[in-house]
Amino acid sequence: MLEKFKETTAYIQSKIKTAPEVGIILGTGLGGLVRDIKNQEVLEYKDIPNFPLSTVDGHSGKLIFGELGGKKVVAMQGRFHYYEGYDMKQVTFPVRVLKFLGIKYLFVSNASGGVNPNFEIGDLMIINDHINLLPNPLIGLNIPELGPRFPDMSDAYSKELIDLAKGVAKKNDIKVQEGCYVATTGPTFETPKEYQYFRIIGGDTVGMSTTPEVIVARHMKLPVFAISIITDLGVPGKIVAVTHEEVQEIGKLAEKKMTLIMGEMMKGL
């Protein structure tokens, strides 16, 4: 596996001039952030050795290199999910490659269902903790060159980056929530009792991604910032039928605020 990381990294470096400082993973319906990336260089996943392919609407499948907020960045316009049939090594493969490309920070976004009764559709939630109900991506042989066998997860989400984001939000009069993200396998949206369960165990939102990428990033000592757009509600009395298309549309409406926060954060790194 280590050789595959190196092979993929070497291919990308042979095609791209940008040496990224920050990696960004864009969730469902949130690919529009790339419009703000300047001096773009683009690689499609299908052309990259060993890369999986995005199979979900709202995940276009491109690596976008360029500048955002004065920093060299690489954005994944489309991520991979366990429910697509990929194993956890494939889901997190790009994060390993981004680290090999030289990133010093990882920014992650997603669309999720709010189970906190104080949340509303369209809210932004800064993730400060998670509950991972997906298979752990570190199961299997550990590669010491990547990280320790038993990585600590007490600071999975960087407190410094959270404080920076909250400062940017306050300065720009953007309302943000803060809380715990619960990750499940999907691809079904949750039943009312599942929403209730996720709230009881400490969740504020629930989704189908993010935690594997964060675990792998922390395994490699990458500081992580993650933000979630609340696209539907799993709160008693507010639960309605939801479609993937609706999730994408709500994500697009809120992504301008998310993009502003991330762009301004880059300036403060």
Helix (H, G, I), strand (E, B) or coil at 111: strand
> Percent of the chain beyond pLDDT 90?
78
Mean pLDDT of the chain: 92
Q: What is the pTM of this model?
A: 0.93
The pLDDT of residue 64: 95
How far is residue 108's CA from residue 130's CA, in Å, rounded to a whole number?
13
**Confidence check: pLDDT of 127 > 60:** yes
The pLDDT of residue 53: 81
Of the candidates 23, 32, 22, 73, which has an alpha carbon nearest to the alpha carbon of residue 254?
32
Q: How many structural domains comprise the chain?
A: 1
Q: How confident is the model at residue 249 (pLDDT cuts 50, 70, 90)?
A: confident
**Confidence check: pLDDT of 244 > 80:** no
How far is residue 18's CA from residue 150's CA, in Å, rounded to a whole number?
33
Please tell me whether the peptide bond between 187 and the residue prior to it is cis, using omega within 30 degrees of 0: yes
The pLDDT of residue 166: 98
Structural domain range at position 95: 2-268
> Percent of the chain beyond pLDDT 70?
93
Q: How confident is the model at residue 237 (pLDDT cuts 50, 70, 90)?
A: confident
The pLDDT of residue 28: 64
The pLDDT of residue 27: 80
H-assigned helices in 57-147: 88-101
**Confidence check: pLDDT of 163 > 80:** yes
How far is residue 9's CA from residue 96's CA, in Å, rounded to a whole number?
9
Are residues 226 and 157 in contact, defined by beta-carbon separation less than 8 angstroms? Answer: yes
CATH code for the domain of 216: 3.40.50.1580
Query: pLDDT digit string (tens) for 178-218?
Result: 999 999 999 998 999 999 999 999 999 999 999 999 999 99
Cα-based angle 73, 106, 209 (whole degrees, multiple of 5): 120
The pLDDT of residue 247: 67
How far is residue 105's CA from residue 23's CA, in Å, rounded to a whole number?
6
**Confidence check: pLDDT of 233 > 70:** yes
The pLDDT of residue 41: 96
How far apart, in Å, are the Cα atoms of 233 and each of 26, 69, 78, 195, 247? 21, 32, 23, 9, 11
Query: pLDDT digit string (tens) for 31-85?
Result: 678 888 999 999 999 999 999 887 665 556 899 999 999 999 999 988 999 999 9
The pLDDT of residue 240: 66
* Single-letter amino acid, residue 153: M
